Structure 1
């Protein structure tokens, strides 16, 4: 038996390997390109800059997927995972984008610093999980969904500042996309169901093309092949509030990733040891550093691809490695990125309502595992952290008199809610309570729908 190859290390015929890898890329694709579209839209970037963000996102995601699946130095779990930008980072980066003293170079500086922080934190992360039970993790995921759903709603109307915001025809297309996605989830099977969001966006885009609502001006001038170079938006800058904000984000990302890696290890029959977990989380941190250098954002493993492992029964890490290589290739095709950047906002709105709403549902599902009857303190954790997360949404000027360097934290609902949930749970339930001792990582793996 010693010479028998484990399923996770199986190298299958190339034709099958490429087909399965392409399936993973298709499942990941819609979620992968959404964060740059959100952040780029918040910063009002030009189509060329948006295309650059998309190319960088795919390129860096492919590289860090290769690191996670194949291993490099002390990095990588050598498990079948696909890496993409974490939605946890989106809200804080939007808050940073709204601050003229930070800008995009400040965002990249914070991402690099946050990645270095995550790499330093990775070796001790398994001992810190007790401080993130389901009541904390579930609250954070729920609040994340609440924080980003307004983005999807504004997309549905055509985007903030759009001259034809709320146009009935555009809304009809938006809700047509939404209805198609829901129908594919109801009646679709296998891969069709897994890529329902991608199909919905594609059909909506074709309808817009037929109605003459898409401009290809930027596509025509884009080269077919282009390299993603470091610091294309300028050298990173480091602002204290932005750095602190991203360090909090990366802590949450590591908690989320821990649950996902535990789930993958169980699925493929390679249980996660402390050493293997450290390698996996170190790669997450290194992915953020790499992303900040190559014009993109923090990375984590995508949940929907974990589900695909179960559906297909294929456990080979080399499938995802080839998927990572395909992503690198896609990241070198500027014309494709320009096509994606030309998708009307209201088409994305139909998908955004589904995707962001599912984040809320995932948080609710995780909180359903929490004891609210026997431990009423948990109600206070959820209630107060929820109220704090609403402050930037309902009273955006509440903290304007605070020091400017705190703005990335005080203007981000998800960070205010996350810090509140963590501190309240520690105060009300204590560091050594039974609730905290029961590590919530496996609940995260099951209930977290953040990336899908």
Structure 2
């Protein structure tokens, strides 16, 4: 009896377990790899829109990594009702960037963080409501949202594989070579490996890709040499927040989208890691924690946090849900933020390596959505909801940057080209208005029609 309890308590597949660090660390590093490039890119984009200097961008990156650690720890170790108690990563995310960048351009960083305070307040208010609204998000809706999230991530992975669209070497052949070597290594470790090797397949594949990239001269360590040793965050370092009434509508809309994505990612985590749907308490706590972290972020100069679908995919793939794994990842994130040399070293990881390593992760997110959608009988009604929602979501996303939507207001253009928004709204509305009929009722209708 005692032996069984001891084994369970050290299992990677039990949330409250304490597996040895040697087993937890490889999985933790995979989570870091999946979130790192996105987390450091968001503050760069927002700071760039505000015309900030390189030193300011560097500080924002450090602060973002620190806040990511705090946001994730609150999720894993709830503070009363605040926190989902799920193995989910929350970091500075891209969801709010389309709204916050024009605000930063017009009002500077002080304006962006002023708008973020409103974002945090709205998130917290929605957090108190999301548990009660859970009944309006059955599996056909949440599954459609997760499916759209997974499908929408493929272009991101492929752009990373090509070298990252903002890089002057974007699309060069050496980027694709490194990316496919990384992907091949991940597949070999995942399909042929056993035990820790199989679970850490993404990390091991990234190591192979990184070594190849170093040999091909694609990695520079100049930034590591010039980076400092310690960075301590200061409240309102970028100025006191300012706010304009014109920010209200776009901020509220994008906040709803951010919360919708968080609900989808928390559902993906419980379905992929625990084979169940999230409880109302978990959803409420998760959104409240996101709001609190976003509010603290506005104080310390960190963009609004979002759940990271990439990391949800890792949980779905390896089924590792131990809180210790997330805790170790958070400690590493904190170290990355406090010690600039540490983060500078991790930032040398080339984009093709990240793209090649995470492509399979994005596939797992898609499969999690499919698993949810098909967990109930796929009636004609449910097929219509999923089919129409995904068709519109992915179809409209291909029109981004074209003239097809130029007659719509800029905010509407942004929302229409975000798959999670379109899929979420369409599946939610269709689920409300479409008559709910069972497979038997639909078969009876067809039989009656055939008899006439």
Fold match, TM over 0.5? yes
Instruction: Write out per-residue CA displacement over residues 144-176 of structure 1, whole angstroms, 9 at most, x where no aligned residue.
Output: 223232122122222225444332222111110
Give the secondary-structure state (helix, strand or coil) at the position aligned to 1:90: coil
Q: Check the 8 A contact 1:181/1:199 in 2, yes or no.
A: yes
> Could you tell me how far apart the structure 2 residues matched to 1:381 and 1:151 are?
23
Equivalences for 1:277-288 in 2 at 5 Å? 278-288=284-294
Q: Does the CA contact (< 8 Å) of 1:177 and 1:203 recur in 2?
A: yes
Whether contact under 8 Å (1:17, 1:319) holds in the other structure is no
Kindly report the root-mean-square deviation, in angstroms, between the aligned alpha carbons of the 2 structures: 4.2
Residues 322-343 of structure 1: CA distance to partner in whole angstroms, max 9, x if unpaired? 6544432332121122223333
CA distance in 2 between partners of 1:170 and 1:9 (Å) = 38
Work out the CA distance in 2 between the residues paired with 1:11 and 1:142. 30
Instruction: Name which of 250, 256, 260 aligns with 1:247.
Output: 256
What corresponds to 1:72 in structure 2? 79
Aligned to 1:363: 369
Distance 1:11 1:278, change over 3 A: same
Structure 1 residues 47-446: aligned runs within 5 Å: 52=59, 55-72=62-79, 74-76=81-83, 79=85, 81=87, 83-85=89-91, 90=94, 93=97, 97=101, 112-160=117-165, 162-230=167-235, 235=241, 239=247, 240-254=249-263, 256-257=265-266, 260=269, 278-294=284-300, 295-300=302-307, 303=312, 321=327, 324-372=330-378, 374-376=379-381, 378-396=383-401, 397-429=403-435
SS in structure 1 at match of 2:170 = coil
Query: Could you say if the C-alpha distance between residues 304 and 72 of structure 1 is closer, same or farther in structure 2, counting changes exceeding 3 Å?
Result: same
What is the match of residue 28 of structure 1? 31
Name the CA distance, whole Å, in 1 between partners of 2:369 and 2:185. Answer: 24
Question: Is the 8 Å Cα contact of residues 57 and 297 (structure 1) preserved in structure 2?
Answer: no
Q: CA deviation at 1:375?
A: 3.2
Q: Indicate how the Cα distance of structure 1 residues 199 and 377 shifts in structure 2: closer, same or farther if over 3 A, else same.
A: closer
Deviates more, 1:192-201 or 1:321-330: 321-330
Structure-2 separation of matches of 1:383 and 1:10 = 40
Q: Alpha carbons of 1:367 and 1:331: their partners in 2 closer, same or farther (altered >3 Å)?
A: same
Distance in 2 (CA, whole Å) between partners of 1:330 and 1:262 is 30
Q: How far does the alpha carbon of each residue in 1:247-299 deviate from its partner, in whole angstroms, 9 at most, with x for none?
A: 222133135436746998999xxx99866764454223323333444414424
CA contact (8 A) 2:46 2:97 kept: no
The 1:111/1:369 distance shift into structure 2, 3 A limit, reads: farther
Specify the alignment match of 1:446 in structure 2. Answer: none
Residues 333/70 of structure 1: CA separation in 2 closer, same or farther (3 Å cut)? same
Q: How far did residue 29 of structure 1 move?
A: 1.3
SS at match of 1:85: strand
* Higher RCO structure (Cα 8 Å, ≥6 apart): 1
* Residue number in structure 1 paired with 2:443: none
Deviation at 1:177, TM superposition (A): 0.6
Structure 1 stretch 252-261 or stretch 125-134: which is displaced more?
A: 252-261
Label 1:208 to 1:368 Cα distance change in 2 as closer, same or farther (>3 A).
Answer: same
Task: Give ranges in structure 2 of 5+ residues lacking alignment.
Answer: 440-452
Deviations 1:218-246 (A, max 9, x none): 22211022124455666476733143112
Give 1 or 2 for the bigger CA radius of gyration: 2
Indicate if the aligned counterparts of 1:92 and 1:409 stay in contact, CA closer than 8 A: no
